[in-house]
Amino acid sequence: MLKIYHNPRCRKSRAGLDYLKSRTDEFEIVDYLRDGLSKVQIKEILLKMNAAATDIVRTQEEVYKKELKGLNLTEDEWIRIIIENPKLLQRPIIVSEHKAVLAQPPENVDILL
């Protein structure tokens, strides 16, 4: 079963969800802005994407531009920042049993199917 980390207010996230719906109906939606993110969830995403925490941070967000840009932080510090500021998470991220992708463009979902 796939999981999509989704922000319903984001155009790119909605496009990713629509594309996912066109390809399968076996997925779970994680509304991470409403429900929050855990350290375990973020570490799972990073492991399955083979990525660093900075790879999944939205650098165009105001909080990043004003408070975080240029800081040299550890992986755990970035994870804590994402937990505390979930809108910093790139979206949508689709997670399968063994892999995860950023669905920008939405066709990246095909990698998991």
- Sign of torsion, CA 109 89 53 35? negative
Q: Is 97 a catalytic residue?
A: no
Number of domains in the chain: 1
Residue-by-residue DSSP string for 77-98: HHHHHHHH-GGGB-S-EEE-SS
Kindly report the CATH number assigned to the domain that includes residue 10.
3.40.30.10
Per-residue pLDDT tens over the stretch 70-89: 999 999 999 999 999 999 99
**Model confidence over 17-49: pLDDT tens digits?**
999 999 999 999 999 999 999 999 999 999 999
Cα–Cα distances (Å) from 110 to 9, 19, 21, 58, 97, in that order, read 23, 10, 12, 23, 14
Q: Is 89:36 a contact under the CB 8 Å cutoff?
A: no
Q: According to the model, what pLDDT value does residue 90 have?
A: 96
Identify the active-site residue in 2, 10, 50, 100: 10
Query: Which of 97, 107, 103, 4 is closest to 48 using CA atoms?
Result: 97
**Domain span holding position 72:** 2-112
